[in-house]
Chain A
Amino acid sequence: AQSVTQLDSQVPVFEEAPVELRCNYSSSVSVYLFWYVQYPNQGLQLLLKYLSGSTLVESINGFEAEFNKSQTSFHLRKPSVHISDTAEYFCAVIYTGGGNKLTFGTGTQLKVEL
């Protein structure tokens, strides 16, 4: 079955420290990969996506993620977090050939503390 695993349900981190949120997906021939962010009582906002080409993708607010095909991973990183980064982060996958539905992980709550 196609699945996405986010091993860490919560990640506490101090402001200005680096952070990595982990995401693994079940193996498939071809995938599109996404990270979404959800603030309290809001919908999902696209943070970044990998479709093809360079395996390292970046967002406008300093996050980056690297597609690793051999490890079927798409971990999200930020070198220095800010209080405003506190939110729920969801990794999602589109398995090509299976339509374009998003399969989501269970989410990681990032809590940035002073």
Chain B
Amino acid sequence: DAGVTQSPTHLIKTRGQQVTLRCSPKSGHDTVSWYQQALGQGPQFIFQYYEEEERQRGNFPDRFSGHQFPNYSSELNVNALLLGDSALYLCASGAGVTEAFFGQGTRLTVV
């Protein structure tokens, strides 16, 4: 079992650009959540997908959007990147309310 896998591991973008991050959940998991972890902070909930629909959303602007595919994998898209979007983006998958297995994260740097 590969666990939760995220790609890419690192990337650098310029302000104003758009970025897409990808997540493959752990086998058997149908729910994917995304979190943003700024340097020195705890992760902040962005949104959660279940059955290809956004089920819950945190306090993030509409520039942050996502998608879940029929195979349960997910994408996080961020438009019009700001310097403040620089962070570690974590994907978590689960099959119940209390399950959350995290991937290694994608380190996004906006310059």
Q: What 0/1 pattern do residues 43 to 77 of B give for CB contact below 8 A with A? A: 11100100000011010000000000000000000
Main secondary structure of the interface of A (DSSP, over half): strand
Residues of A within 8 A of B44 (CB): 104
Query: Are B42's CB and A51's CB within 8 A?
Result: no
B94:A100 contact, CB within 8 angstroms: yes
**How many residues of chain A are within 8 Å of chain B by beta carbon?**
25
> Which B residues form the contact surface with A (CB < 8 A)?
4, 31, 33, 35, 40-45, 48, 55-56, 58, 90, 92, 94, 96-98, 100-105
B41 touches A100 (CB 8 A): no
A104 touches B42 (CB 8 A): yes
Which of A11-19, A38-46, A55-63, A71-79 contacts the other chain? A38-46
Given contacts A44-B90, A100-B48, A101-B33, contact A107 B41 (CB under 8 A): yes
Q: Which of B31, B90, B97, B101 contacts A94 (CB 8 A)?
A: B97
Enumerate chain A residues within 8 angstroms of B55, measured Cβ to Cβ: 99
Q: With CB as the reference atom, state the residue of chain A lying closest to B90.
A: A43
A106 adjacent to chain B (CB < 8 Å): yes
What is the CA–CA distance of A58 and B35 in the complex, to the nearest angstrom? 26
A27 at the interface (CB under 8 A from B): no
